Amino acid sequence: MGEAPAFLVDDLQNEPLNGFELKNGTCKTITTIGNKMYVIGGADDGTLSIEVQIFDRSLGEWIHPTVHGTKPLSSKGHSAVFLNDRILILKKGAKSDDQIWFLEVDTQYVRQQQKQLGTEVVAWSKGVIGNAEKPVVISGPSGVGKGTLISMLMKEFPSMFGFSVSHTTRAPRGMEKDGVHYHFTEKSVMEKEIKDGKFLEFASVHGNLYGTSVEAVEVVADAGKRCILDIDVQGARSVRSSSLEAVFIFVCPPSMEELEKRLRDRGTETEEQILKRLRNAAAEIEQGKSSNIFDFILYNDNLEECYEKLKKLLGLGGCVAATPKSALGEFNLPLDHSVSKIDDKIIINCISSGLEKESKNLIMLDVSALKGGAPGRTRGLDFQAIGSFSDGLIGMERLS
Ligand SMILES: Nc1nc2c(ncn2[C@@H]2O[C@H](COP(=O)(O)OP(=O)(O)O)[C@@H](O)[C@H]2O)c(=O)[nH]1
Ligand SMILES: Nc1ncnc2c1ncn2[C@@H]1O[C@H](COP(=O)(O)OP(=O)(O)O)[C@@H](O)[C@H]1O
C-alpha cells in the first residue's frame, strides 16, 4: 500500500484507459478490470524486468502484488489486452521467442495461490506459438519399461515430444549423462531450490530425492513440443492436484516375476537396490491401479504391442502429421505496431514507412485455443498474416 507516484496520478486521471501506453516515457500500460487498474511496465526497481502495480479504485490505494513466474525483461514498449482472466502483453521490437507474455490475474492457479498466501497474486506465463498437446505423465514401478517406451516415442517423433529432465540426488548409471537423463545434483542444493519454489513437484523415491523443475517443463514447451514426464506415483499425484493439465498413464508389469527379471537383466542396480525397488513396486502398482490419478493403465507385456497402445491413446495411431507450427514461421513484432481485438482474435497492425508511402501489414494472433499457463508456458497460440492495407481498420476497438 502507499502513495501513487505523482506521474501516475496524473496519468490515471487524464489518460483514456485500457491497453494504452502512458505518454510519460516509462513504457507503462494500464488495464482496468473492475475496480482494479493494473499498471504494467517500466523498470523502476532496477531489475530490468517488467513490473506490476495495482491501483484499487474503490479503496484509493496501491496494492503491491506477489508476482509468480519468470518476469519478462522490459522492452521498448508493449501493448496490453485483457482476455477474460489474464492480460496479453505484446512486447514491441522483441524477438519471436520473447514477444508474447501473459499476466494471469484471475486464473485457477492465481486464485489457488491467493488463497494459500492470503495476498494479491499475479503470475507471469510466457506464450508459445504452436499447438503442442497436454504434457504426458508416465509412472510405473522400476523396471517396468517406462524409459524404454519413452525412448521409442522420442525416436519415432523427435519433433513432437520433449523429455522433462528431472533433478535427482541418486548417482548416475554408466550410460547416463548429466542434463540429458537427469540433472544429477546434491541433496542440499536441491532442497534449497525446492524451498525457493523452483520445483513443480518432488518426492523421495527408493531413498533418493527426485523432482521436476518448472524450468524442465518450460524448456520443452518453448521448443513447441509435447512434454513427457517420467515420475513416480507421488509426483503424479502432486501434478494431478496442480494446475498443470496433463494426460496420466500408469505402466504395469505382466507379473512381479517378470518385473524382477527385467530389473535384474538390466543390470544397473546393486542387489540391495533391486530388493528395495521390488519392495516398493507392490505398493506403487496398488496405488497406480486404485487411485484416481491415472487416466490410462497400460500393461507392458509384449513391448511392441504396448508401444502401439501408447501411441494410440496419445492420438498417434496411423498417419501422424507433424506438430503444427505458426503459419508465419519466425516473426518479430516491429517497434511500431498497434493492436485491436475482435472476439478471441488479436489484430496486430504493423506499420512500416517506405520511401513512397506508409504500408500496414495485418497479422492475426489467434488466442481462441489457449492452453496451459502458470506455472509454465501458455500454449496454443498461432499467428497468421491476413494482408497488407493502406487504410486503417474500421469498426475495431483500438487498444494501443
Ligand atoms: N516424483 C518424481 N519421480 C521421479 C522423477 N524423476 C524420476 N522419478 C521416478 O523415480 C523412480 C526411480 O527412477 P530411476 O532412478 O531413474 O530408476 P528406474 O525407474 O528404475 O529407471 C521412477 O519411478 C521414476 O519415475 C521426478 O522428477 N519426480
Ligand atoms: N515389454 C518388455 N519385455 C521385455 N523386456 C522389457 C520390456 N520393456 C522393457 N524391457 C526391458 O526391461 C528393462 C527395464 O526397462 P526400463 O525402460 O529401464 O524400465 P523403467 O524405466 O520403467 O525403470 C530394460 O532392460 C528393458 O530393455
Residue 116 CB partners (closer than 8 Å, separation 6+): none
Output the CA 379–ligand 2 centroid distance in Å.
33
Per-residue pLDDT tens over the stretch 94-139: 887 789 999 999 999 999 899 988 999 999 999 887 666 789 999 9
Backbone phi and psi for residue 9, each to the nearest 5 degrees, phi listed first: -60, -45
The type of residue at 65 is P
- Name the residue at shortest CA distance from atom 14 of ligand 1: 142
- To the nearest 10°, report the CA torsion of 262, 293, 284, 201: 90
Q: Which of 166, 230, 262 is the best mutation target for the ligand 2 pocket, counting ligand atoms within 8 Å of the beta carbon and taking the most?
A: 262
Cell representation of residue 341: 481485438
- Name the residue at shortest CA distance from atom 25 of ligand 2: 266
Taking residues 379-397, what's their average pLDDT?
Answer: 59
Per-residue pLDDT tens over the stretch 66-94: 998 888 988 888 999 999 999 999 998 88
Give the ipTM: 0.98
The type of residue at 101 is W
Backbone phi and psi for residue 201, each to the nearest 5 degrees, phi listed first: -160, 160
pTM for this model (two decimals): 0.69
What residues are annotated to the active site?
Answer: 173, 266, 277
How does strand 121-129 pair with strand 100-104? Answer: antiparallel
pLDDT at 323 over 60: no
CB 140 within 8 A of CB 146: yes
Cell 475496480 belongs to: 35
Cell representation of residue 257: 516375476
In order of 29, 41, 65, 77, 184, the CA distances from 38 in angstroms are: 8, 10, 10, 16, 41
Please spell the DSSP secondary structure of 353-384, one letter per residue: E-SS-EEEEEEEEE-TT-EE-SSS-EEEEEEE
